[in-house]
Amino acid sequence: MTGYDDRDGKIWMDGKLIEWRDANVHILTHGLHYASSVFEGERVYGGKIFLSRKHSERLHKSGELMDMPIPYTVDEIEAAKAEVVAANGLTDAYVRVVAWRGSGEDMGVSAARNPVRMAVVAWSWGNYYGDAKMKGAKLDIAKWKRPSPETIPTAAKAAGLYMICTMSKHAAEAKGCSDALFMDYRGYVAEATGANIFFVKDGEVHTPLPDAILNGLTRQTVIKMLEEKGIKVHVRHIMPEELADFEQCWLTGSAAEVTPVGQIGEHTFEVGDIARDISESYEKLVRA
């Protein structure tokens, strides 16, 4: 596979489609130096982006939380995404929308005079965790913790929040794991590096309260699906010592979709009926 900077195709950038290889920014782009960037990751199924408008609305919210107003309306973002998917001839793909503070008059921490730029990219992307989607992912436990909402806008899907995710995933992969599980700043079970987490005990589902993590759109979708199936869902703080008592586990995210988990640290889980059923039901929903 060639690098992501060296491909054929079209990218929507600042209001128009351009050649993939021409989608560049200046070295003094503020987002590169100070992480002034927000983004969305979305999946295309059968030519249709799942929960597309909700993603565009969340991008706007992330920009507000980062004091970085997005210069395009939700409708304009929707049109740009559709244009990119069509221009690249894609029917099943991943879409990345990213907005950032570009280069301009400011090059210190303050960047109010620099323009907010935006791009939309789409490419074919298979299972985020590879064959773990069938047999169950193996997770390390990260040494880092998700930060307090008093230190950073945790409700924003912001690039800076992913720094410790990259570091933790590298450490996990070096141990032969697919991903890493974070605790939050209080010590509660939080999330994986790019996905929310669910557990099963005695036929009921437990998932962390999203008061210090991103309340993922896939997470919200799966909770609704479980409730419609008559399965009790407990949204609460989960202590790490509870991992030993759970029977099943899975991750959710736009990229991860619904991926069963077979192991977290020393704790093992079966890829059981509820995990398999919700994974299959999600697959049917996104292609409906």
DSSP 127-156: -TTTTHHHH-EEEEEEEEEEPPTTTS-TTS
Q: Is the overall model pTM greater than 0.85, yes or no?
A: yes
The size of the chain, in residues, is 288
Residue keyed to tokens 């586990």: 249
pLDDT digits (tens, 9 = 90+) for 56-68: 999 999 999 999 9
Burial-class residue 241 by CB neighbours within 10 Å (0-12, 13-18, 19+). exposed
Assign domain 10-123 to a CATH class. alpha beta
Q: What angle do CA 41, 91, 75 make, to 5 degrees?
A: 55
In percent, the amount of the chain with pLDDT more than 70 equals: 100
Residue 136, strand partner residues: none
pLDDT at 185: 98
* Locus of tokens 């047999």: 135
Q: Residue 24: what pLDDT? A: 97
| pLDDT digits 0-9 by tens, 93-102 | 999 999 999 9
Cα–Cα distance measured from residue 35 to residue 143, given in angstroms and rounded to the nearest whole number: 22
Mind telling me the catalytic residues? 157
The answer to whether the CB of 76 falls within 8 A of the CB of 97 is no
Are 10-123 and 132-286 the same fold in CATH? no
User: What angle, 0 to 180 degrees and rounded to 10, lies between the N-to-C axes of helices 74-87 and 52-65?
Assistant: 130
Q: What SS3 state is found at 52?
A: helix
Q: Would you state the CATH architecture of domain 132-286?
A: Alpha-Beta Barrel (3.20)
74/97 Cα distance (integer angstroms): 12
Strand 257-264 and strand 137-146: the pairing is parallel
Q: Which whole-number Å values give the CA distances from 191 to 34, 121, 283, in the listed order?
A: 25, 26, 22
Task: Work out the average pLDDT over 229-234.
Answer: 98
Q: Indicate the domain borders of the chain.
A: 10-123, 132-286
- For residue 135, what pLDDT band results from cuts at 50, 70 and 90? confident
Cβ within 8 Å of residue 68, ≥6 positions away: 36, 38, 99, 101, 116
CA atoms within 13 A on the CB side of 238: 25
| Single-letter residue type at 7 | R
Share of the chain above pLDDT 90, in %: 96
pLDDT, tens only, 153-177: 999 999 999 999 999 999 999 999 9
d(CA 13, CA 116): 12
